[in-house]
Amino acid sequence: MEYLINVAILACIYAVLALGLNLVVGFTGLLSVAQASFYGLGAYATAILLTRFGMNFFLALLIGVAIAAVFALLIGLVLSKFKDDYYALASLGFNVIVYTAFLNLQNITRGPLGIPGIARPTLFGFHFTGNLSFLILSLVAVAIAYLVAQFVARSSFGRALKAIREDEPALRVFGYRTLHFKLAVFVIGAALAALAGALFATYITFVDPSSFTINESIFLLAVIILGGLANLRGSILGAVSLIVLPEILRFVGFPTEVAAQMRQAIYGALLVILMLYRPQGLMGEYKL
């Protein structure tokens, strides 16, 4: 039972990450490869505030979200100078910078040693020490992230984001300041990533730079493409699918000496087949 709860918690964390990223990539058409950096900023901010200052988790969470939002605003201004493939490369560069900072600012992040001993959240005297209680907290976080993303997607703001994705110059003709919309959605996506980072840090009770590499950002792109771009339920479905599928493959009776390699090969083959026959993803409304 504990194993299933662990998988469910990880799926919830990735669902929050995917919801934020889908607003940026799926709804707005901005190919960002920087989500793991905001994920890491939220995780590290929460970890440092909890371990060094003994701050309450929920206050630390809000500060972590604010820090990620400020960084997103600044980097969003820089990324606004780029388009399409160059936007993706520039965002990837930002991810590299943040990862390098986590690795080398040893006085703050402890570098490759990471930050251990992160306390689980506490609310009105109740400690989320058990995995079941933490799963409930994670489900609440998914619900909040989904409601925020749904509000954005269904509002006039969300319709403007889709118009930017389809034809940004035409929207400018009608007097819309598209830069403001792109910055706003980038900040919202970063804030949701920081929320997921705070949950991850307190669930694992340890953070180190290896969790926030470029590979993590690419994996998150795979999650939303698999689930379906511009579809919020697809984001959650993609997160659950890509977290659960490798766990299912653990129970396939491969020979021990090649089990890990066979699981990875089958996992990759299933993704390739799905993209061949369902390029818009499981529930997608838009293709890159």
Confidence of residue 286 (pLDDT cuts 50, 70, 90): low
Cα gap 262→259, rounded to integer Å: 5
Tokens 């080398």 -> residue: 104
Residue 48 has pLDDT above 80, yes or no: yes
Our CA angle for 14, 19, 24, nearest 5°, is: 125
DSSP 285: S
Tens of pLDDT, residues 213-251: 999 999 999 899 888 899 999 999 999 988 888 888 777
Residue 281 has pLDDT above 90, yes or no: no
Tens of pLDDT, residues 144-188: 999 999 999 999 999 999 999 988 888 888 888 999 999 999 999
Tens of pLDDT, residues 201-220: 999 999 999 999 999 999 99
Average pLDDT, the chain: 91
What pLDDT is recorded for position 251?
A: 75
Residues 6+ apart with CB under 8 A from 266: 249, 252
- C-beta of residue 23 within 8 angstroms of C-beta of residue 153: yes
Average pLDDT, integer, range 112-117: 95
Q: Looking at this protein, which amino acid is placed at residue 130?
A: G
125, burial (CB in 10 Å: exposed 0-12, middle 13-18, buried 19+): exposed
Q: What is the largest CA-CA distance in the chain?
A: 63
Average pLDDT, integer, range 82-111: 93
pTM exceeding 0.85:
yes
DSSP track, 198-220 = HHHHHHHSEE-GGGGSHHHHHHH
